[in-house]
Structure 1
Amino acid sequence: MWWRWLRLKQMGVLGINNRNLSFIQRYNTRTHYPLVDDKVKTKKLAQAHDVKVPTLYTVIHSEHDNKVFSKLIQNRAQFVIKPAQGAGGEGILVVTHYINNRYRLSNGKLLTEDEIKYHISTTLSGAYSLGGYPDKVMVEYLVQFDDVFEKVAYQGVPDVRVIVIKGFPVMAMVRLPTQASNGKANLHQGAIGAGVDLKTGQTLHGVWHNEIVTHHPDTLHEIEGVTIPYWKECLLIASRCYDMTKLGYLGVDLVLDKAHGPMMLELNARPGLNIQIANQVGLQRRFDMIKPVLDKEMDAKARIEYVLSRL
């Protein structure tokens, strides 16, 4: 078995222990974690730094707020409900329509207002929060995803994950919802992760349940060869998120909206490692590429130019 370990090391594949010790512990100051673990704080921080984010309609802090839910959302028929301190896509409801006194979710399920309020109450109690602590509930704008993903996404909104090390974008993938993931762009729930060429913004092959795939299992369309629009702007937003949070090892999740272009959805101080499978390259190798200039004073554009010039 040792030869497998040696082969992975030669490929520059980053393992979870090395990630935790050499990247998360080394470059992420724990006092900064609340800036990304609490999505309300993340959104306010982004707005203060002129980083585009989906509009926040309201924050539900208590059962008192929950009682007047319909008033708080101002009779909107489209919105997203999410835990402020949730993880892994748990507890998120994507509401696409209001019809016959029911809220229709992206997966087609219909919920009454009382059922929505019950879900919010459960979320407030900490059912989906990190550590099970009492939480807040965010209600925000439902992204109208760009048509470029129409043939390779099932129902939900795809997102782009960019791994950033001290402001240098070193790897990216697009996460494509499937029927198995219930329309959510979450790999653990069954979404597809497709690698992205950092230079061109074009998708590579996909990884689904840790297996390489070439076609979307629901739409049957080829995953490779989709060019992500506004790619340089995506990289710029991702790089600026380091300046915003001072977290040196960061996963930046972006969405592409038809009307508003790229927007930062959320940040992750402990991004997973499946992105290496999707790109068929190791994060350690990309880290070694930027290591000579890691501590130099460079703005976001200069960091991006450095990375792209060496790929």
Structure 2
Amino acid sequence: MDWISPRKLRKLGILNMNRRNVDYISRYNERESYPLVDNKLKTKLAVSEYGVKTPELLQVVRQQHEISHFREIADGLAGFAIKPAKGSGGKGITVITGRDGDDYVKASGARISVAMLERHLTNILAGLYSLAGTPDVAIVEDLVQPTPSLARYSFQGVPDIRIIIFQGYPVMAMLRLATKDSDGKANLHQGAVGVGLDVGTGRSLNAVQFNRPIKLHPDTGLALENIQIDSWEDMLEMASRCYEATGLGYMGVDLVVDAYKGPLLLELNARPGLAIQMANGEGLLPRLRNIEALKRPHFSPRERVQYAMGAFGKF
């Protein structure tokens, strides 16, 4: 990103990392809630009680001897995802989209044997991908089938939607699209495309890659304007309900839209990144202060969503 003076950043209302950490994460996130969102298995169990759907859980691998059962389960599946429960930034996630004889086909098109998948499970249990390098648990989930209207914009990987939730209100959102640079993962730091979304309508605003504005997806060549997310208000309400499920005042909610099951929660993040501001061409601070200034907060997720759509929508 080109250098921008601190004065201009303040004028734009850009939230920087230090202020995010001190004024929002430390202030609004209780420490006892962190283990809940830092563990994908615990997250799935917690949000299910609040009507938030997640990809179907096929197997939990906690011990080395349980890996033998994985081979039996995987043999009957055409597609699935293996994830470390305590992984972050997409590390350790392996997505299988098909079969080629005895081999499994990854989202990138690469072939992998069941023995290699079992070795990957062993590495997850050893903590190779966990946040603190501590022993972990592997979860095997049903494969998300992205809705074609969004999948066409992404290169190989499943597109997802990040929504920043503050005190239960959706304050900013973006669509993340995988690229060759990001190796099929929706990770902005690795080169995925971030498309800002209007909170009021779910329509695309701006798009960036490596924090620089773009108009077309670098691999699919498709224009990134006029993208419309279906069932937008329902998605915002799903994200808002995660506030009651976790008690976290400031978090990132990552959703996908499955072609058959609709919106699904992928994971929660208690320390969401700040690149969403570049994708939206606007800072978070004015929106966060708007919520902080409310004299009478809204108690239901639906009320909070309707307020946010009116307060932060552009169309």
What TM-score bracket applies, with the shorter chain setting the length? over 0.9
Distance in 1 between the 2:4 and 2:54 partners? Answer: 45
1:81 matched residue in structure 2: 82
1:34 matched residue in structure 2: 35
Name the SS of the counterpart of 1:288 in structure 2.
Answer: helix
Any residues of structure 2 matched to 1:53-132 within 5 Å, and which?
A: 53-73=54-74, 75-132=76-133
What residue identity is the alignment partner of 2:57? L
1:167 matched residue in structure 2: 168
Could you tell me whether the CA contact under 8 Å between 2:176 and 2:186 is conserved in 1?
yes
Distance in 2 between the 1:47 and 1:288 partners? Answer: 30
Q: How big is the shift at 1:310?
A: 2.0
Label 1:240 to 1:294 Cα distance change in 2 as closer, same or farther (>3 A): farther
Name the SS of the counterpart of 2:236 in structure 1.
Answer: helix
* Large movers: runs of 4+ above 4 Å: none
Name the SS of the counterpart of 2:59 in structure 1.
Answer: strand
In the TM superposition, what whole-angstrom CA distance separates every residue of 1:143-171 from its partner, at most 9, and x where no partner exists?
Answer: 11011113310111100000000001000
Q: How big is the shift at 1:67?
A: 2.4
Distance in 2 between the 1:36 and 1:294 partners? Answer: 29
Name the SS of the counterpart of 2:132 in structure 1.
Answer: helix
Gaps of 5+ in 1: none
Label 1:183 to 1:249 Cα distance change in 2 as closer, same or farther (>3 A): same
Distance in 2 between the 1:36 and 1:179 partners? Answer: 29
Provide TM-score, normalisation by structure 1. 0.97
In the TM superposition, what whole-angstrom CA distance separates every residue of 1:118-148 from its partner, at most 9, and x where no partner exists?
Answer: 1111111111100111111110011110111
Query: Greater shift after overlay, 145-154 or 98-107?
Result: 145-154
Could you tell me whether the CA contact under 8 Å between 1:126 and 1:135 is conserved in 2?
yes
Provide TM-score, normalisation by structure 2. 0.95
Distance in 1 between the 2:291 and 2:212 partners? Answer: 29
In the TM superposition, what whole-angstrom CA distance separates every residue of 1:184-214 from its partner, at most 9, and x where no partner exists?
Answer: 1111221111100111101122111111111
Distance in 2 between the 1:76 and 1:237 partners? Answer: 29
Distance in 2 between the 1:67 and 1:244 partners? Answer: 34
Gaps of 5+ in 2: none
Could you tell me whether the CA contact under 8 Å between 1:89 and 1:184 is conserved in 2?
yes
Distance in 1 between the 2:258 and 2:129 partners? Answer: 27
Query: Greater shift after overlay, 73-82 or 269-278?
Result: 73-82
Distance in 2 between the 1:110 and 1:266 partners? Answer: 27
Query: Greater shift after overlay, 273-282 or 70-79?
Result: 70-79
Label 1:284 to 1:70 Cα distance change in 2 as closer, same or farther (>3 A): same
Whether 2:62 is the aligned partner of 1:47: answer no
Could you tell me whether the CA contact under 8 Å between 2:201 and 2:309 is conserved in 1?
no
Aligned length: 310
Distance in 1 between the 2:193 and 2:15 partners? Answer: 20
Distance in 1 between the 2:282 and 2:187 partners? Answer: 21
2:193 matched residue in structure 1: 192
2:135 matched residue in structure 1: 134
Distance in 2 between the 1:74 and 1:36 partners? Answer: 31
Name the SS of the counterpart of 1:259 in structure 2.
Answer: coil
Any residues of structure 2 matched to 1:153-232 within 5 Å, and which?
A: 153-232=154-233
Query: Greater shift after overlay, 291-300 or 81-90?
Result: 291-300
